[in-house]
Amino acid sequence: MANKVFIATSLDGYIADKSGGVDWLHEIPNPDNDDMGYHDFIDSIDALVMGRNTMEILLSFGIDWPYPKPVFVLSNTLKQAPAGLEDKIFMVSGDLKRLVQDLADKGYNDLYIDGGVTIQNFLKEDLIDEMTITTIPVLLGGGKRLFGELAEPLKFKNVNNQRYLDAIVSSKFVRA
């Protein structure tokens, strides 16, 4: 059972720029469409838990829903899955430890936790077991932060580093 983060940040730790955009994620030429470990990661999880904002940004792209696994979307304001995606997106809320246990009881043991506020909320309860952080070499100077304040430090151990496209570093950390 593991809660996993797989996310790209700027060098200064932002996951979206000042206008909420993520175009900077795709500016480095990638002629062979290297997925930088994404599909192997998706194969390693049973379901996703994401924040409402991340879901809404994905929907705004106007593409087909990209996840082959169930997506549990956290929200206190939205109670119904978007029309047409009721078999793929399931709205959830409430205590995170309880949610993780409920999902495990349903057989969803390995979870992909996505969205800045959502990841921060999981970290506040020490509920993140591993993080793969892909660093894009740009200073955005502002935007949405990946990490926020914590009551106590949380220590992680670096278990892998990969360099992609002569530009991007992906580092995997597990909770020490």
Ligand X SMILES: NC(=O)c1ccc[n+]([C@@H]2O[C@H](COP(=O)([O-])OP(=O)(O)OC[C@H]3O[C@@H](n4cnc5c(N)ncnc54)[C@H](OP(=O)(O)O)[C@@H]3O)[C@@H](O)[C@H]2O)c1
The footprint of ligand X (CB under 6 A) covers 7-8, 15-16, 20, 22, 25, 50-54, 57, 74-78, 93, 96, 114-118, 121, 144
- Give the shortest CB-139-to-ligand X separation in angstroms: 15
What percentage of the chain's residues is helix, strand, coil (to nearest 5)? 20, 30, 45
Q: Whole-number minimum distance, CB 152 to ligand X, in Å?
A: 19
Query: What's the closest the beta carbon of residue 143 comes to ligand X, in angstroms?
Result: 8
- Of 115 and 129, which CB lies nearer to ligand X in the complex structure? 115
Q: Measured at the alpha carbon of residue 133, what is the angle toward residues 42 and 74, in degrees to the nearest 5?
A: 60
By three-state DSSP, how is residue 58 classified?
helix
Q: How far is the CB of 51 from ligand X (least distance, A)?
A: 2
Nearer to ligand X, 47 or 176 (CB): 47
C-beta closer to ligand X: residue 57 or 81:
57
Number of H helices, E strands in the chain: 4, 10
Whichever of 89 and 115 has its CB closer to ligand X, that residue is 115
Amino acid at 140: L
DSSP 62: T
Q: Among all chains, which residue has been given the structure tokens 């660093």?
A: 135
CB atoms near residue 56 (< 10 Å): 13
Q: How many other CB atoms are there within 10 angstroms of residue 22's CB atom?
A: 16
Pairwise CA distance, residues 98 & 117, whole Å: 18
Q: What minimum distance in Å lies between the beta carbon of 138 and ligand X?
A: 12
Q: 98 or 155: whose CB is closer to ligand X?
A: 98
Residue whose CB is nearest to ligand X in the complex, by number: 51
